[in-house]
Each structure stands twice: as C-alpha cells, then as structure tokens.
Amino acid sequence: MKITFLGTSAGAPTRRRNVTSIALQLDQQSKLWLFDCGEGTQHQVLRSPLRLSQLDKIFITHLHGDHLFGLVGLLASRSLQDSIESPVTIYGPQGLSEYIRVSLEISRTRLQYPIHIEITKPGQICDTEMVEVFAAPMSHGITAFGYAVSEKTQPGRFEVERAKELGIPEGPLYGQLKRGETVTLLDGREIDGKSLVGAEKPGRKIVFCGDTTFTPNAIELSRDCDLLIHEATYMHADKPLALRANHSTAIMAAEVALQAGAKMLALTHFSARYEADTAQGLPELLAEAQSVFPNTYLAHDFWTVTVPRREPPTA
C-alpha cells in the first residue's frame, strides 16, 4: 500500500501546496484510488508517476469546493486519453451525483467510459478481493465522512519446497493444500495442508479523516490503524478558529491518533497562515502534535508513504 499526497493545503492553494487530494495504490494491483479531488488535482497527477488510466475509485469526503472542484475536469481529461474504457466508481455524500451530472450536462462533456456513483452511508461501503472500505460521519457542519481502508488477512506462504520433498505432485493438489485442506495421496498418505502453509499475514489499515473537528467517530474509525491521515488546519493558539469552522488543531488530530492506538499519524490540510516563512510556521504545528503523539509527520505535496506489511503474530 502506497500513499501519495497530491495536495495538502486548506481552503485554497498556495505557492507550495495544492488543495486536497490523496492517492492510494494497492499492492499487486495496477489500480489507483483517490481520496478527494480538489482543483488542480489532474495537474498534480501529471507531475507524479501516477496514471489516470489506472484510476478505479474516487472517495469524496464532503462537498466543499477545495475537496471537489477538480473532479469533473479530471474525469473529462481521462476521457480524452486514447483507449481508456475502464469504469470509475465515485463515492460521496448526497448531492454528489447531481453535481457531477449538471457539470457534465452544462459543459456538454461526454465521457468515453462509464462512471458509477455510490452515495456514502456509515458502515461498509466497498468490499473487494483484497480490501474493505468503511465510512464514518465526521463533524464538519455539513455531511462529511472519514474512510478506512482495511486490507483483508492474507493466507500464509505455501511451502513449495517442502511439498516437493514429501513427493506431492504439482498440480491441483497444491491448490487444495494452499487452502489448508487435507488431501490423500495415491500411496495412501494423508497430508494436512495447514502444515505446509505459513502463518497468516495480518491486513493493514489506512484511515483518511476528511475535514472535521474532534469527534469520537474518528477514534473508532481509526482504531489500531497503521496510518492515520488527519487534517490539522490550525495550531492550538488558533483553536477558536478551528471550532468556528469545524476544523481540527494539530493537538486534536494527535489525540485521535493516541486514543485510537494508531501506529503513525500524517497531518495535512494546513492553513496558509502557517507557511514556512511566517512567524509561526509548520514546525511549531508539528511540535504541538508530537507532544501528544510522537510518531507524527507533516505531509507535503508529492510525499509518498509506503505502509509495510504487518508481521504475523508469533506463537
């Protein structure tokens, strides 16, 4: 699982940061998922190794413009690329379907591939062979969601060399043994597949908390996650601004990570007032969060984070 931050600014872009969008690449799959799609996201994709031809799903946290205004343009540009016919599924709050439909109709844009729009509701919203996606309401003054991508437990490695040493012929029997089944060989021996399969590989979990002030829902969604991506629009000194706009301070985000038992916290969605050349900059914001949750990092545009696989539990 690899994360690429395509935009890390709040509200409007700055000279250093674009508005919100985050890309997720799943292991062993040539598929790209986006979480939010602020204005200019397609330009950010062009400046990265990512490819729109691999776009499979888009998850919109809420319908504020800095998380949404790049969506229709990105879909339209993807349609101009030759031979792209693979569909895109888009998840988001009520009103997203109307926004996309009206934008496409008024601009007379005809996509050359199908799109499917799913209205996000709390609970499981997506179930694939590799992962499940869950949504939970955030607290932002309008309908807003956080998303958790949970990788399913993977079977352990099948020990091919041991199977060969036991004289088990290659073919369909290997498939049965990989599934942990017991098979009977031609010589009458019974082989328990579980004895030839290593420990299961625990799945990873990445959580995307869209715009929100502190809420217990974010804690529950983020429980035991490998990576929590959480907005940190303001510093503690500007907490009144955060509360007025239903945003989080860095300390609020760190408290979510701490109470959820997250392994790593990545902060994003920063107010332009904290750019590096201001009196109070992002290093101070980071220090506030690290005082609560030490394993905290500041995201920046084009920062890539690879989430390593979890080690199987020891006996």
Which residues are known to be catalytic?
66
Structure tokens at 255: 């408290």
> Which helix (H) or strand (E) covers residue 12, if one does?
none
**3 state DSSP class of 194:** helix
Helices (H), the chain: 41-46, 71-80, 96-106, 160-165, 172-178, 216-221, 239-244, 250-260, 282-290
* 21 neighbors 70 (Cβ within 8 angstroms): yes
Residue 167 amino acid letter: G
Main-chain phi, psi angles of 21, to 5 degrees:
-165, 140
3-state secondary structure 155-182: CCCECHHHHHHCCCCCCHHHHHHHCCCE
* 31 neighbors 126 (Cβ within 8 angstroms): no
How far is it, in rounded angstroms, from Cα 279 to Cα 273?
A: 9
